[in-house]
């Protein structure tokens, strides 16, 4: 298909030029920034302050290790798969602070069923302590102290190589724990945890979900983002730091498991929280099927759109960032097809590209639904409807 030159004007205007999203760590995420609505969103429904139940406890490191041993503490570190975990020097300096008696920032935990606790804020700090003192509990390699500022005599030492008095000091270190009780509504918990900035780096929304909602959805999202087909379709351009990629895949799953045309949600974050529960409720066979459909959708998108898959630059030479809203609409529509229908789209790739580019150029509501107030119910239905019309038009030969 004919491509527009970079300087040519079309109806996409400034929406096409949307900047790249910057993550909480200050780095580009590789996806297009979504713009807020012209008018402030109503957001979450107000809640009764009395529904917030938070206890402030003092707990020793040894007590937390005991909970972890008994399976009553959900650390959810996912450190083997996370690119943003602390370095060994950062972990070592936290251990050094504890050995020097310097108080650590408060930990924020959520109470689960059977009085289990999930760590929401403080995962990396607690992981450092566990990795040094009892690495077998999290299947981690033991931590040897490195880069110490004051206790240089313990450089390269492991936990068992410390003097007995220092080992006792670590185990008896008291930590301040803010425990959000089980009876607190989930939407309230999410709001509370969204306000936390204990260590200077705000929690991302997906990190909160990951910690707050245990279950197989955690590993399922991680597995999908590690699929080669996902990487190829997105040009390996979506950051895996701070779970940016997992949130994008969760958005796809949310609309895959809940029909877009029925979407009425006012609080988009709660909609994604509910999607985590839906994924948890699937059987192993259902998750295998969803994984298969996701892979096929990613392969089809790559084969049809090439390097412009999930980007508003279809029909242009210069590649734009991945657009999360377009990712949802295209991926869900492709996942809903049969294999032979996806094959037909691939053989008709030029027409699919041309038709989608045409809609981006002439349909202002569609272009807006991909970049502005993307959680608005009408915008959600608009983008899914237009992409479906493009797909079905090609399949029917129109």
Provide the β-strand partners of residue 349: none
pLDDT for residue 81:
55
Distance CA 75, CA 69 (A): 11
Residues of the chain short of pLDDT 50, as ranges, are 2, 6-11, 14-16, 39-43, 83, 198-199
pLDDT for residue 15:
46
- pTM across the whole model: 0.82
pLDDT for residue 40:
46
Residues 67, 71, 77, 80, CA torsion sign: positive
pLDDT for residue 21:
73
Secondary structure class of 126 (helix, strand, coil): helix
pLDDT for residue 393:
96
Distance CA 157, CA 294 (A): 46
pLDDT for residue 195:
78
Distance CA 238, CA 244 (A): 7
Query: Mind listing the pLDDT tens digit for each residue in 24-36?
Result: 566 777 788 887 7
Q: Where are the beta strands (DSSP E) in 24-156?
A: 28-32, 54-60, 73-74, 107-111, 117-121
pLDDT for residue 213:
92
Q: Which residues contact 59 (CB under 8 A, 6 or more apart)?
A: 174, 175, 177
- Listed by start position, the domains of the chain span 13-41+218-396, 53-183
Environment class of 104 (CB within 10 Å of its CB; exposed 0-12, middle 13-18, buried 19+): buried
pLDDT for residue 315:
84
CB atoms within 10 A of CB 71: 9
Copy the structure tokens of residue 11. Answer: 């109806």
Environment class of 233 (CB within 10 Å of its CB; exposed 0-12, middle 13-18, buried 19+): buried
pLDDT for residue 98:
95
Please name the residue ranges forming H helices in the chain.
Answer: 13-16, 61-69, 88-99, 123-133, 164-171, 186-194, 205-212, 217-225, 228-233, 244-257, 268-281, 284-305, 324-335, 339-347, 349-362, 364-369, 377-396
The residue behind tokens 């566990």 is: 130
pLDDT for residue 45:
54
Distance CA 385, CA 274 (A): 23
pLDDT for residue 194:
82
pLDDT for residue 9:
46
* Backbone dihedral angles phi then psi of residue 71, each to the nearest 5 degrees: 75, 20
Max distance between CA atoms of the chain, in angstroms, equals 79
Distance CA 292, CA 128 (A): 36
Distance CA 260, CA 385 (A): 9
């Amino acid at each position: 298909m004919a491509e527009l030159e970079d300087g040519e004007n079309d109806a996409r205007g400034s929406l096409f030029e949307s900047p790249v999203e910057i993550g909480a760590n200050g780095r580009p995420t590789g996806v297009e920034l979504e713009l807020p609505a012209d008018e402030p969103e109503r957001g979450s429904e107000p809640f009764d302050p009395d529904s917030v139940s938070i206890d402030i406890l003092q707990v020793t490191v040894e007590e937390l290790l005991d909970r972890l041993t008994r399976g009553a503490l959900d650390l959810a570190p996912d450190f083997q798969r996370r690119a943003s975990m602390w370095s060994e020097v950062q972990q070592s300096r936290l251990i050094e602070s504890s050995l020097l008696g310097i108080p650590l920032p408060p930990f924020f935990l959520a109470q689960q069923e059977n009085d289990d606790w999930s760590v929401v804020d403080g995962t990396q700090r607690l992981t450092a302590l566990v990795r040094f003192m009892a690495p077998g509990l999290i299947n981690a390699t033991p931590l040897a102290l490195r880069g110490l500022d004051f206790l240089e005599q313990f450089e390269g030492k492991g936990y068992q190589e410390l003097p007995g008095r220092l080992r006792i000091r670590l185990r008896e270190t008291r930590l301040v724990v803010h425990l959000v009780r089980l009876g607190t509504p989930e939407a309230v918990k999410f709001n509370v945890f969204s306000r936390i900035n204990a260590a200077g780096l705000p929690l991302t929304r997906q990190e909160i979900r990951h910690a707050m909602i245990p279950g197989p959805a955690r590993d399922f999202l991680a597995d999908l983002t590690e699929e080669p087909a996902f990487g190829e379709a997105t040009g390996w351009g979506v950051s895996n730091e701070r779970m940016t990629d997992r949130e994008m895949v969760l958005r796809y799953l949310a609309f895959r498991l809940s029909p877009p045309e029925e979407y009425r949600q006012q609080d988009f974050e709660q909609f994604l929280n509910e999607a985590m529960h839906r994924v948890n409720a699937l059987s192993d066979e259902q998750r295998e099927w969803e994984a298969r459909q996701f892979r096929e959708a990613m392969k089809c998108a790559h084969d049809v759109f090439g390097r412009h898959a999930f980007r508003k630059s279809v029909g242009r030479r210069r590649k734009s960032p991945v657009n999360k809203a377009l990712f949802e609409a295209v991926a869900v529509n492709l996942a809903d097809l049969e294999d032979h229908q996806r094959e037909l789209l691939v053989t008709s790739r030029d027409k699919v590209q041309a038709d989608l580019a045409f809609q981006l150029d002439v349909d202002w509501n569609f272009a807006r639904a991909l970049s502005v107030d993307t959680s608005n119910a009408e915008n959600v239905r608009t983008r899914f409807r237009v992409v479906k019309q493009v797909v079905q038009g090609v399949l029917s030969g129109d």
